[in-house]
Amino acid sequence: MSIKDRLAKKTGDLMVPAPSQEAGRGASPRTAPGQMLAFRSAMRESSDRVSQLEAQLKEYDGAVAIRALDPKSIHASKWANRQDFGDESFAELKSLIGEAGGNTQPIKVRPSSDGDGYEIVFGHRRHRACLELDLPVNAIVDGEITEQGQFVQMDQENRARKNLSPWEQGVWYKRALDDKLWPSQNAMAKACGLSQGNISSALLVAELPAEVVGAFPSPHDIQFQAARKLSVALKKTPDEIVQRAVELADDSSRTAPEVLTALLAAARPAAPARKEEEVGIERKGELLVIRLRASGVPQDRVEELRQLITGFLEDVQSTAD
């Protein structure tokens, strides 16, 4: 058996098919050794190409895919804490998104548990703006995030941007604890990267009676320090403060500090009326000052009183002598 036949038998279907003739390229090798060399060359080229592709792929390690989604396929999270879409800041955000033709900062969503579209992790305002502008919304889809993870990421996103008011924070944290998302304030604080004091302060605002909250021009005006003072006062005289809050709710002209002052004043018991003395006598150095209520001495008897005092002093003097 010739060398050509033996090589052909060993290489079998590894023989490189003859490429089509192209201008400037030589014909395919006709001998078995030539076929083998061509095969090895092709393998080296393929290996080099694979290395190039792997190098390019490494450039995308850690990159997050952003998808353009129909905003109608996305719904708000049950933990949504930004529901005010009528303020000036939202109008400005909507204008910027409209000018850019979409949200340049993507929102984050996760597939809905019922399989119907997506649920927002964070970015409710950006989603609402795209929805009203009828623009696709750029979003990161995270299919692995849990409900607790969703809450934590939403909290971090809000604190990194425009902070929620103390009242919004308190209501939000209270909902999570009421729904048993975490077993305790301490567990929630650790998950969210906050101190337990932060959680407690926010909850003081959320736990104020509705009448007290309603007395302020807006719930967003209630600050942490005000909530702490009111919480202490409510433990002493809750009925008086609530009653005063109901009265203040009808007066929209009061500012938040004025409302706070009025509510705290209601917690302080009124000082007992000082009983006026009929006769007051006080020694001041060489003098003995006598005070009488003017209403107790008619004007036409003042002279009589003077004579009585003069007579008393003359009697004292004679006794001393």
**What is d(CA 231, CA 234) in angstroms, rounded to the nearest whole number?**
5
Report the candidate in 34, 125, 10, 152 with the shortest Cα–Cα distance to residue 71. 125
Positive or negative CA dihedral for 240, 241, 245, 248?
positive
Over residues 83-108, the pLDDT tens digits come to 567 778 888 989 999 999 999 999 99
Query: Does residue 211 sit in helix, strand or coil?
Result: helix
| 305 located within any domain | yes
pLDDT in tens, 177-211: 999 999 999 999 998 888 888 899 999 999 999 99
Distance from the Cα of residue 54 to its chain's centroid? 42
Q: Classify the phi-psi angles of 102: left when phi > 0, otherwise alpha if psi is within -120 to 50, otherwise beta.
A: left
* Confidence grade of residue 5 (pLDDT, cut at 50, 70, 90): low
Residues 201 and 172 sit within 8 Å (Cβ to Cβ):
no
Pure H helices in the chain:
3-11, 32-58, 88-100, 124-133, 147-160, 166-178, 185-192, 196-206, 210-215, 224-236, 238-248, 256-267, 302-320
Specify the higher pLDDT residue, 308 or 141: 141
State the pLDDT confidence band at 235, using cuts at 50, 70 and 90: very high
Range of 305's domain?
279-313
Average pLDDT over residues 289-307: 80
> Which of 184-188, 244-248, 285-289 bottoms out in mean pLDDT, i.e. has the lowest?
285-289
CA distance 312 to 304: 12
| Residues 107-115, mean pLDDT to the nearest whole number | 87
The answer as to whether 218 is a domain residue is no
158-170 pLDDT, tens per residue? Answer: 776 666 789 888 9
- Given this model, what pLDDT does residue 270 score? 55
Per the DSSP assignment, residues forming a β-bridge with 280 are 291
183 against 299, higher pLDDT: 183
pLDDT at position 134 is 95
Residue 286 in any domain: the answer is yes
pLDDT digits (tens, 9 = 90+) for 14-66: 444 444 444 445 556 667 667 777 767 777 777 777 777 666 656 545 556 78
Q: Are 234 and 228 spatial neighbours (Cβ–Cβ below 8 Å)?
A: no
Q: What is the DSSP string of 304-318?
A: HHHHHHHHHHHHHHH
- Give ∠ CA 263-269-272 in degrees, rounded to 5: 140
At residue 140, the 3 state secondary structure works out as strand
Residue 53 in domain: no
Task: Establish if 289 belongs to a structural domain.
Answer: yes
Q: Hey, what's the torsion of the CAs at 143, 145, 151, 156, to 10 degrees? A: -100
| pLDDT at residue 135 is higher than 70 | yes
For residue 283, the SS3 value is: strand
Task: Tell me whether residue 212 is in a domain.
Answer: no
**Domains in the chain: how many in total?**
1
Upper half-sphere CA count for residue 83 (Cβ side, 13 Å): 10
Buried b (16+ CB within 10 A) or exposed e, 47-81: eeeeeeeeeeeeeeeeeeeeeebebeebbebebeb
The confidence score (pLDDT) of residue 138 equals 95
* CB neighbour list of residue 27: distance below 8 Å, 6 or more residues apart: 18, 21
Place of tokens 């809450």: 151
How far is it, in rounded angstroms, from Cα 206 to Cα 249?
18
Token pair listed for 173: 């944290």
CA distance 263 to 1: 111
Q: What is the DSSP letter of 301?
A: G
pLDDT at 28: 60
- Let me know if residue 55 belongs to a domain: no
Question: Residues near 102 by Cβ (< 8 Å), separated by ≥ 6?
Answer: 68, 130, 135, 136, 137, 138
Q: Is residue 303 part of a domain?
A: yes
The answer to whether residue 311 scores a pLDDT higher than 60 is yes
Q: Which is higher by pLDDT, 1 or 33?
A: 33
Q: What is the reported pLDDT for 132? A: 94
Element (H, E) at 110: strand 107-111
More confident: 269 or 132: 132
- The tokens of 65 are what? 């895919």
- Percent of the chain at pLDDT > 90 equals 36
Residue 58: predicted pLDDT? 62
Average pLDDT, the chain: 81
